[in-house]
């Protein structure tokens, strides 16, 4: 009898292990919150429209992406690169209704944008998502990602959180890594937990040859704040204390903390006595251990809020209360441009797809995800040599006009050639700074 009972118990274990939970009810409830986004750009004459929809990487294409309702009045959150250079934005909801949308605000630093459906019927209400707390998620948690892969329509995939706090070279942002399928067209789509809360915005995929199942989502805590700022102000108002810090140790006491590496003399931090070389050991009674948390806190504080700092100056402990300032436009532009350059560098390292050769300059470029053309390769005899321009830099402007496509740059080059090979002024974004470079044009047979 004992043997029979043991065999019966063991036979049940494989069945229990193989049993699975269906997410059909949850997915059905979440689908109405997710939308397909098509942002129309310049079209090339006689281009095959059907091919454009099947292959959104064709020039003159409709860029396809995803988004989700964050307000029931039609506000939608998506990635900024999904609507880059768009002349017209179309939204298709889960019930197959189509709407035009306008841009409410763009934040390139986080690669997020908010759209608003232009609906003539104000009684229409859309199903908004609920943001969860990404900080409470754990590695191994099951997640569902929604998107519009390859323009096929809203699709859902299931996986787990593979890692947290991943820095993928995008302006020090920390991302959730997942093995749930995130493909081209999923950008801007939501990542849900099994409670039906959004804990991330699908933002990037790792595309190095041979890699698969590696996607990244911007945590909901950041996305929720950015969305709220864009809806309220049309831009993101970031807090600023005027310092740059790095993990380090006080050389006098050997206590760990955040070493101040740069300080703006017009900032309140400087006025309160902080200096380069000082070591912050706590802020608002929180030990100075997590640099990302510190930067996120200061950026998300409102102007005139107070931050309590305890620091070491030449080994002597001191404290100060710093009134938060709104980040100056110049500082905001710097972090935005740095994000653009780092984003381009990541793309260049991961894939050389969509590369175009500009023979007039002797360079190979590809479209950066958010703005401009990333320089993949500079030829040995390129006329860009000795201009300070390097591989990985982004061409943002040519002769004071924005550059958002290869055709756009070629048009500027053609204009310079027609005008007796006059010099072209380029606005270049490097990893560390933005600068103008003058390129002396020469005839191809010179």
pLDDT score for 41:
62
Q: Among residues 107, 111, 278, 393, which one is catalytic? A: 111
Q: Among residues 39, 66, 162, 187, which one is catalytic? A: 187
Domain extents in the chain: 30-117, 134-233, 239-326, 331-439
pLDDT score for 151:
57
- For this structure, is 75 an active site residue? no
Query: Whose CA is closest to 331, among 435, 238, 229?
Result: 238
Distance CA 277, CA 279 (A): 6
- pLDDT (tens digit, 0 to 9) for every residue of the chain, 446 residues total? 444 444 444 344 443 444 457 889 999 999 999 999 887 765 444 333 333 333 333 344 466 788 999 999 999 999 888 887 788 899 989 888 889 999 999 988 888 999 999 876 766 789 999 999 988 889 989 999 887 765 566 778 888 888 776 554 444 567 888 877 776 667 888 999 999 999 999 887 654 444 445 678 888 988 999 999 999 999 888 899 999 888 888 888 989 999 998 898 999 999 999 998 899 999 999 999 988 789 888 988 988 999 999 999 999 999 999 999 988 877 766 666 555 555 555 555 444 456 788 888 989 888 776 678 888 888 888 998 888 888 888 898 888 888 888 888 999 998 888 888 888 988 888 766 678 888 888 876 54
pLDDT score for 173:
62
Q: Among residues 39, 62, 75, 81, which one is catalytic? A: 81
pLDDT score for 29:
93
Phi, psi of 269 (to 5 degrees): -60, -40
Q: Do 30-117 and 134-233 come out as alike in CATH topology? A: yes
Q: For 30-117, which CATH class? A: mainly beta
CATH of domain 331-439: 2.30.42.10
Strand partners, 157: 145
> Is 200 in contact with 179 (CB distance < 8 Å)?
no
Task: Look up the pTM and report it.
Answer: 0.65
Q: In which element (H, E) is residue 257 found?
A: strand 256-263
Query: Whose CA is closest to 438, among 419, 416, 415, 406?
Result: 416
Query: Whose CA is closest to 116, among 76, 86, 153?
Result: 76
Query: How far is CA 255 from each of CA 263, 280, 317, 318, rounded to the nearest angstrom?
Result: 21, 10, 11, 14
- For this structure, is 296 an active site residue? no
Q: For 134-233, which CATH class? A: mainly beta
pLDDT score for 333:
65
Helix residue ranges, H only, 314-405: 329-350
- For this structure, is 282 an active site residue? no
Per CATH, the homologous superfamily of domain 239-326 is: PDZ domain (2.30.42.10)
Query: How far is CA 190 from each of CA 157, 238, 428, rounded to the nearest angstrom?
Result: 11, 24, 33
């Amino acid at each position: 009898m004992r043997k029979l009972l043991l065999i019966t118990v063991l036979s049940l274990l494989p069945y229990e292990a193989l049993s699975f939970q269906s997410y059909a009810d949850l997915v059905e409830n979440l689908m109405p919150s997710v939308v397909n986004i098509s942002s129309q750009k310049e079209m090339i004459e006689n281009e095959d429209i059907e091919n454009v929809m099947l292959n959104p990487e064709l020039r003159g294409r409709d860029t396809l992406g995803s988004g989700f309702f964050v307000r029931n009045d039609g506000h939608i959150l998506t990635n900024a690169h999904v609507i880059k250079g768009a002349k017209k934005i179309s939204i298709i909801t889960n019930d197959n209704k189509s709407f035009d949308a306008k841009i409410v605000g763009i934040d390139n630093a986080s690669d997020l944008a908010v759209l608003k459906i232009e609906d003539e019927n104000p009684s229409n209400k859309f199903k908004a998502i609920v943001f969860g707390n990404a900080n409470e998620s754990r590695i191994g948690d099951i997640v569902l990602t929604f998107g519009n892969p390859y323009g096929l329509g809203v699709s859902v995939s299931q996986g787990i959180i593979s890692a947290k706090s991943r820095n993928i070279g995008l302006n020090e942002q920390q991302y959730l890594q997942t093995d749930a399928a995130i493909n081209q067209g999923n950008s801007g789509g939501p990542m849900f937990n099994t409670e039906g809360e959004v804990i991330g915005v699908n933002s990037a995929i790792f595309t190095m040859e041979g890699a698969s199942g590696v996607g990244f989502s911007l945590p909901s805590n950041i996305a929720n704040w950015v969305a709220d700022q864009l809806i309220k102000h049309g831009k993101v108002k970031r807090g600023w204390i005027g310092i740059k810090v790095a993990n380090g140790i006080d050389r006098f006491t050997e206590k760990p903390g955040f070493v101040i590496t740069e300080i703006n003399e017009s900032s309140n931090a400087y006025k309160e006595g902080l200096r380069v070389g000082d070591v912050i050991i706590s802020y608002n009674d929180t030990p100075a251990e997590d640099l990302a948390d510190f930067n996120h806190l200061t950026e998300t504080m409102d102007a005139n809020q107070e931050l309590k700092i305890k620091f070491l100056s030449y080994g002597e402990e001191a404290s100060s209360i710093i009134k938060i300032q709104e980040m100056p436009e110049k500082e905001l532009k710097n972090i935005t441009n740095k994000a653009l350059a780092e984003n381009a560098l990541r793309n260049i390292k991961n894939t050389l797809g969509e590369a175009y050769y500009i023979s007039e300059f002797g360079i190979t470029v590809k479209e950066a995800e958010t703005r401009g053309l990333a320089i993949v390769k500079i030829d040995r005899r390129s006329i860009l040599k000795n201009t300070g321009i390097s591989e990985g830099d982004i061409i943002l402007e040519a002769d004071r006009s924005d550059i958002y496509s290869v055709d756009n740059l070629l048009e500027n080059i053609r204009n310079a050639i027609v005008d007796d090979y006059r010099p072209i002024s380029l606005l270049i974004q490097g990893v560390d700074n933005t600068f103008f470079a003058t390129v002396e044009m020469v005839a191809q047979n010179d």
